[in-house]
Structure 1
Amino acid sequence: MGNDDVEELMAAAAKLRKESEEAEIAMGRTPTTTSTTSPPPPPKKLSFTEATTLLDSIDVSSTTSLAALPTFSNSPFPLVPFPVPLKTLSSRTSGMLTGDSLGVGGSDDVSLDDFKYATIGVTVVSSILAVLSGVVLPNNTGATLTYLFAVIPILWIGIGSSAPGILASIIETARSTKEDQSTKRSRVTAHEAAHLLVGYMVGMPVKQYSVEDGEPRVEFGVPTGRELSYEDVSRISVVAMAGSAGELAADFEVAKGGEGDLLTLQSAMSSCSEFIGAAKQQDMTRWGALTSWGIIQGNKEIFENVRKGMEEGKGIKELIATIEAGQN
């Protein structure tokens, strides 16, 4: 077919379209067009100053308030869990994420037996100290200390029920080899920066954070007063695994801070309104690790800026503004 034939066909098609439009107008209809509707423009990116100004006027722990911020309200990461075998997890992360590197496949994990023996140890030591206080010390002082030592096992069990991650960190710290302070702080800030970045990117409002020794953490606003939905648990899975992924993204060979995160995730899965069996729990955990890794790698510069901000002790609003602006 020659160029002349093509031009004739195009002219004939244009004539038919015009006649069709004229006929529709004659019948009182709006003519249809074949033009493609342009996609909506991407959300406007705020500058650091704009984000800071807006954050100063809202409650950052409120999902409704944070909806005014484009990154929070337009998260590009759909949370649709799918089966992720260990081999797939490793291959899709160039071998960076494995059971061993995530700290979930080796002998150094904090197990239920560790909690059992730690609880027994705390109870025995507290009991001995309580008895000795009552026998050795003067009446008032001895009675006070006896009462305090008797309460310690109760507090230990209470914390283990509501925040097992804290006890896991204590146990892990007690038995782990010591890192120098700068290396340890670098690991902690990488871990917590990943939690904060990923949690914010998947739509979880951030209340506060700490990178101090003893209790490094990021606190999110999570649903209360009801069972967790499958979507809630999916989101928690991604955020829980982000800490270990963040350590690996910061070039640590093995993640060391994920034991408490796994216990928190297991607790969330047990509280889900939809039953999540053992095999599905493992799949969701690996999927959470893979998804969080993708978010961190796709926002590596922001991750490093948030990490740096934590090292400098910046406030939570400054860190959120850093994420929104994608800059220091």
Structure 2
Amino acid sequence: MLTSMVSVSNTASTYTAFQYCRRRHHQLLRASSAAPGVDLKTLESALAKKDSNAVKEALDQLSEVGWAKRWSSQPYVSRRTTSLRELTSLGIKNAENLAIPSVRNDAAFLFTVVGTTGFLGVLAGQLPGDWGFFVPYLIGSISLVVLAVGSISPGLLQAAISGFSAVFPDYQERIARHEAAHFLIGYLIGLPILNYSLDIGKEHVNLIDEKLEKLIYSGQLDAKELDRLAVVAMAGLAAEGLQYDKVVGQSADLFTLQRFINRSKPQVSKEQQQNLTRWAVLFSGSLIKNNKALHEALMTAMSNKATVELCNQTEKNR
């Protein structure tokens, strides 16, 4: 008992020291990143309150004093006709397949479930007596249960697939590249980022401000705001397309873009939707290539679970 208490005490002390060092590191990093006379407390306070308008105002002020030079450096975007050849010239691999949802993770998960249960069912069939009948039957029903869950609660099945997808060696790097691209393009376009997550099944970047949220919910997005949101929505897809032969994280992005399109006025035709998607990938991909060092720095910071404030300060180190 005494040994256990000492062990717990040492662990608690180590944890406390670790937390102190981590806080101190963040404080020193903030101090070293900020130029003389630059006050980051307003930004820090706005982020803590999750106030998108206050975050935007704080970054606008920091940009005026030369601290956040690339914040909102691309505020004006204008849609134009875009071809697949332009995407290929930019460096997007397999541009013709970008809008086709990937089934790599889904197929691997289902194949593993069916294959494993089938193999175990065959082995269980060798059990003596009634066990050789009932156990294979129960094991075989697992695949049916998985399919039933997928039809009744797709989100639950998708969470399981996301967790399973971690077995792929490129999975975490893909997530970081994908979400860092959303973060970067939102920053360059001038949309305030409130939080992000790279946790499996929860990966996302929250960058919709209050004004845009009201327009989305009311179904009154105009062409200008739709273009801005489309560029940010397609950023993750573009980042993957520039790096990998196949994009696997585009389903959520395409769903988000379709949601924006459905909430816009005037209505967008099928041909216009296709062109909007291509153009948004081209525009965001160009920004990612032109800001490659900042994108990679954001990948590193987000992979290390840096705060949004520290992610915003990444620009100062480029």
Which of the five TM-score ranges fits, normalised by the shorter chain?
Answer: 0.5 to 0.7
| Equivalent position of 1:231 in the other structure | 224
Cα drift, residue 275 of structure 1 = 1.7
Deviation at 1:105, TM superposition (A): 3.0
- The 3-state SS of whatever aligns with 1:224 is helix
The residue type paired with residue 212 of structure 1 is D
The Cα offsets for residues 282-302 of structure 1, whole Å up to 9 and x where unpaired, read as: 111100000011110000000
The separation in 2 between residues aligned to 1:52 and 1:210, in whole angstroms, is 32
Look up the equivalent residue of 2:251 and give its one-letter code: E
How many residues in Structure 1 have an aligned counterpart in Structure 2? 225
Equivalent in 275, 286, 301 of residue 294 of structure 1: 286
Could you give the per-residue CA deviations for residues 258-303 of structure 1, whole angstroms, max 9, x where no partner exists?
1011111101011012221111111111000000111100000000
1:72–1:202 Cα contact (<8 Å) kept: no
Q: Is the 8 A contact 2:186 2:192 kept in 1?
A: yes
Deviation at 1:318, TM superposition (A): 0.4
| One-letter amino acid of the structure 1 residue matched with residue 224 of structure 2 | E
Give the greater-gyration-radius structure (CA): 1
Partner AA of 1:64 in structure 2 = E
* Partner Cα distance (1:52, 1:294) in 2: 34
Cα root mean square deviation, aligned: 3.3
Pick the structure with more helix per residue: 2
Query: Does 2:48 match 1:50?
Result: no
Q: Quote the Cα distance in structure 1 between the aligned partners of 2:236 and 2:92.
A: 18
Q: Are 2:270 and 1:278 aligned?
A: yes
Is contact 2:221-2:265 (8 Å) kept? yes
Which of 90, 96, 108 does residue 99 from structure 1 map onto? 96
- Residue 246 of structure 1 pairs with residue 239 of structure 2: yes
Residue type of the alignment partner of 1:225: K
Residue aligned with 2:34, SS = helix
Q: TM-score, normalised by structure 1?
A: 0.60
Change (3 A) 1:232 1:304: same
* Cα distance in 1 for residues equivalent to 2:159 and 2:104: 8
**Alpha-carbon distance in structure 2 between the residues aligned to 1:231 and 1:105:** 26
Deviation at 1:176, TM superposition (A): 10
**In the alignment, is the contact (CA less than 8 A) between 2:102 and 2:248 conserved in 1?**
no
Is residue 250 of structure 2 the alignment partner of residue 258 of structure 1? yes
Deviation at 1:254, TM superposition (A): 1.4
Secondary structure of the corresponding residue to residue 218 of structure 1 = strand
In the aligned structure 2, how far is the partner of 1:220 from the partner of 1:312? Answer: 20
Which runs of at least 4 in structure 1 moved beyond 6 Å after TM superposition?
Answer: none
Mapped contact 1:66–1:72 kept (Cα < 8 A): no
Deviations 1:113-163 (A, max 9, x none): xxxxxxxxxxxxxxxxxxxxxxxxxxxxxxxxxxxxxxx99x96xxx9xxx
- Letter matched to residue 34 of structure 2: T
SS of the equivalent of 2:195 reads strand
For residue 182 of structure 1, report the CA deviation from its aligned partner: 5.0
Q: Secondary structure at the match of 1:67?
A: helix
2: CA distance, partners of 1:75 / 1:98: 27
User: Residue 224 of structure 1 aligns to which amino acid in structure 2?
Assistant: E
Secondary structure at 1:209 match in 2: strand
* Match of residue 108 from structure 1: 103
Matched residue, 2:170? 183
Quote the Cα distance in structure 1 between the aligned partners of 2:303 and 2:270.
Answer: 38
| CA-CA distance at 1:232 after TM superposition | 1.4
Amino acid at match of 1:274: P
Q: 1:54 to 1:245 in 2, by over 3 A?
A: farther
Which of 292, 306, 314 aligns to 2:306? It is 314
The alignment partner of 1:50 has SS state of coil
In structure 1, the partner of 2:18 is none
1:255 Cα shift? 1.4
Are residues 97 and 197 of structure 1, via their aligned partners in 2, closer, same or farther at CA, if it must alter by over 3 Å?
farther
Q: In 2, Cα distance between the equivalents of 1:53 and 1:221?
A: 26
Distance in 1 of aligned mates of 2:260 and 2:199:
25
The 1:229/1:54 distance shift into structure 2, 3 A limit, reads farther
CA distance in 2, matches of 1:52, 1:319: 20
Instruction: After TM superposition, give the deviation of residue 99 of structure 1 in Å.
Output: 2.8
Any conservation in 2 of the 1:192–1:243 contact (CA below 8 Å)? yes
Output the CA distance in 1 between the equivalents of 2:80 and 2:36: 34
**Equivalent residues of 1:89, 1:97 under 8 A apart:** no
8 Å Cα contact 1:72/1:203 also seen in 2: no
Aligned to 1:140: none
1:173 to partner: Cα distance: 6.1
Q: Is the 8 A contact 2:221 2:264 kept in 1?
A: yes
Of 82, 85, 104, which residue of structure 1 is paired with 2:83? 85
Matched, 1:202 2:197: no
* Contact 1:204–1:221 under 8 Å retained in 2: yes
